[in-house]
Amino acid sequence: MFLQQLINGIALGSVYSLIALGYTMVYGIITLINFAHGEIFMVGAFVGLLLISVAKVNIFFAIIGAMVFCMVLGVVVELVAYRALRKSSRLSALISAIGVSIFLSSLALMVFGADAKGFPDNAFPVTQLHIGNADVSTLQLVIIAVSALLMMGLEFIVQKTKIGKAMRATSEDYNTSALMGINVNRVISFTFALGSALAAAGGVLVGVLFNAVSFNMGLMAGLKAFAAAVLGGIGSIPGAMLGGLLLGVSEVFGVAIGYSSYRDAIAFSILVLVLLLKPTGLLGQKITKKV
Amino acid sequence: MLKVDNIYVNYGAIKALQNVSFEINTGEIVALIGANGAGKTTILNTISNIVPSVSGKITYEGKDITKTAPHDIVKVGISQVPEGRRVFAKMSVLENLEMGAYTRSDKAEIAADIEKIFQRFPRLNERKKQPAKTLSGGEQQMLAMGRALMSRPKLLLLDEPSMGLAPMLVEQIFQIIQEINKSGTTILLVEQNANMALSIAHRAYVLETGEVVMQGDAKELARSPEVRKAYLGE
Ligand SMILES: Nc1ncnc2c1ncn2[C@@H]1O[C@H](COP(=O)(O)OP(=O)(O)OP(=O)(O)O)[C@@H](O)[C@H]1O
Ligand SMILES: [Mg+2]
């Protein structure tokens, strides 16, 4: 029972982590809460759905396709909706982000309708495995493995590659990064591309996990992932990974011990608690205001 | 090498620079001195184009670079050591130096240049894996200078390299600035420590509330009564 719930929680939580990473990276670099991020996740889920049900590709190619599509979408959103507001107040940028969020979900409503869409039967064969006394579906294992792989990939990019180092530099000090010859606009685009790709992968995985894709799925998932990012310490990449896992696991355990009607409230209760006790989040650093 | 012509810069309603013109010749150390808030940092940031000018023109080796993007300014050969050093605190010493070489792709040469920086600043070598925030103020200044040299600049802009350092260290930093200059890098040196700056500079400009009020040979300026009174504390 415990092991069972733990695995369920990790599967759900790793998807929250994937989405939370986008919030935290974008915040780290331009101190903007990208409210449209949940909708990028939703679009990723639809692209995955179309690829699996119409183009009949397998789940891995669907994930890659959704990631590529949302990378472009994320870059375009930043270019169109945020770039011109880079030097304005954060409130204007936030309002613009909410606008993009409403635009994308309305667009999805128009194109796909209000009903949740499911995946075709047998789109991927799911086998139940018995590990100890836990029933684990291969789907959960795929979710955990794909998420872990993507996060390791991200860690590699951020720590080891030139553009990843430029991301870290830019998030520390925008002007000084420009003095290094770093094209900060390009770094910001790259950050949106990375974050959006992870959200898209999360979208496909969640769609498959719950066998439902709908125009408004980005709202709750986005809010929870945002909570996870804040829980871990907004701006911190390991924080987002940890925050997502913690939220997923506590949500699943909360439901298991009988608080299923409070399912969605659990994430936010934890968030409020952590913020009261440690305002910078679990792994966050004191936010020094950038001048 | 660099020619600044009638530059005006505003921060909102604040007029930071007015009608500023000056020139730097290849091989020189030019000092820019002036009181707090005179506009020295603004001049460097306008050259690096982090702060845009309202009007005026900046020419570098015959090319108009007034509108050149900040990251391209580094590519043409101008690099800046900003005021307050501004090392990337969470990144290692080595990574900071790598960021200085961001515009380059010649890996082997970059590695060789990092070795040269470590020879010039052995303390950085001992600390190369440490996050930059763990360095002392003097070490951070060395790192900031090393980082700026990594782009192999022809013109190096230095903003108050002596700020907050012990006199011994100030001597050492000025020594290094002279060495960098002798090895072929032209230098624009902003300093509040006018005494030290004038002692190593060839020429100097004096800035007062956003305007150039005096200019000339550094040794002569150091002897002039106005400068001695206003900036050398006499
Ligand atoms: N970002 C900014 N916003 C508004 N005003 C600014 C800004 N930066 C500088 N100023 C103003 O512009 C003027 C020139 O500032 P600057 O930093 O260039 O002076 P400085 O000569 O470098 O001074 P210091 O020796 O103290 O470093 C000052 O009056 C300052 O208050
Ligand atoms: Mg200054």
B13 in ligand 1 pocket by Cβ < 6 Å? no
Burial class, A75, CB count within 10 angstroms (exposed 0-12 / middle 13-18 / buried 19+): middle
Residues B181, B158: Cα–Cα separation, whole Å = 12
Does the pTM surpass 0.90? The reply is yes
Atom of ligand 1 nearest to the CA of B51: 1
For the cut 90, the answer to whether the pLDDT of residue A258 exceeds it is no
A-chain residues near B80 (CB < 8 A): 179
* Domains, chain A, ordered by start: 2-277 (1.10.3470)
Q: In the structure encoding, which two tokens stand for residue A239, read together?
A: 């924080």
- Judged by average pLDDT, the poorest of A155-169, A224-238, A276-290 is A276-290
Question: Shortest CB distance from A179 goes to which of B75, B82, B95?
Answer: B82
A262 or B84, greater pLDDT: B84
Reported as a pLDDT band with limits 50, 70 and 90, residue A285 is confident
Reported ipTM: the value is: 0.94
Q: What is the mean pLDDT of chain A?
A: 91
How is chain B split into domains, by residue range?
A: 26-52+70-231
Task: Determine the distance separating the centroid of ligand 2 and the alpha carbon of B229, expressed in angstroms.
Answer: 21
pLDDT in tens, B26-50: 999 999 999 999 999 999 999 999 9
Average pLDDT, integer, range B101-125 = 95
Reported as a pLDDT band with limits 50, 70 and 90, residue A289 is very low
Atom of ligand 1 nearest to the CA of B34: 21
Residue B157 in contact with residue B78, Cβ under 8 Å?
yes
Residue with the smallest CA separation from ligand 1 atom 6 is B11
**Residue positions counted in chain B:** 234
What residue ranges in A237-279 does DSSP mark as E strands? none
Report the pLDDT value the prediction gives residue B234, as an integer from 0 to 100: 63
Task: Determine the distance separating the centroid of ligand 2 and the alpha carbon of B7, expressed in angstroms.
Answer: 17
Whether residue A172 lies within 8 A of chain B, CB to CB, comes out as yes
Superfamily of domain B26-52+70-231: P-loop containing nucleotide triphosphate hydrolases (3.40.50.300)
Residues B24, B11: Cα–Cα separation, whole Å = 25
DSSP letter assigned to residue A289? P
Shortest CA distance from A236: residue in chain B:
B90
Residue A281 in contact with residue A272, Cβ under 8 Å?
no
pLDDT in tens, A91-149: 999 999 999 999 999 999 999 999 999 988 777 778 888 887 788 888 899 999 999 99
User: What are the phi and psi torsion angles at A214 (to 5°)?
Assistant: -140, 165
Considering chain B, what percentage of its residues have pLDDT values greater than 70? 99
Residue B23 in contact with residue B2, Cβ under 8 Å?
yes
DSSP string of chain B? Answer: -EEEEEEEEEETTEEEEEEEEEEE-TT-EEEEEE-TTSSHHHHHHHHTTSS--SEEEEEETTEE-TT--HHHHHHHTEEEE-TT----TTSBHHHHHHHHTTT---HHHHHHHHHHHHHH-HHHHHTTTSBGGGS-HHHHHHHHHHHHHTT--SEEEEE-TTTT--HHHHHHHHHHHHHHHHTT-EEEEEES-HHHHHHH-SEEEEEETTEEEEEEEHHHHHHSHHHHHHHS--
pLDDT in tens, B7-19: 999 999 999 999 9
Please list, in sequence order, all residues whose beta carbon lies within 8 angstroms of the beta carbon of residue A230, skipping any fewer than 6 positions away.
Answer: A243, A271, A274, A275, A281
B154 or A1, greater pLDDT: B154
Report the pLDDT value the prediction gives residue B229, as an integer from 0 to 100: 80
Considering chain A, what percentage of its residues have pLDDT values greater than 90? 74
Shortest CA distance from B77: residue in chain A:
A181
Average pLDDT, integer, range A193-206 = 97
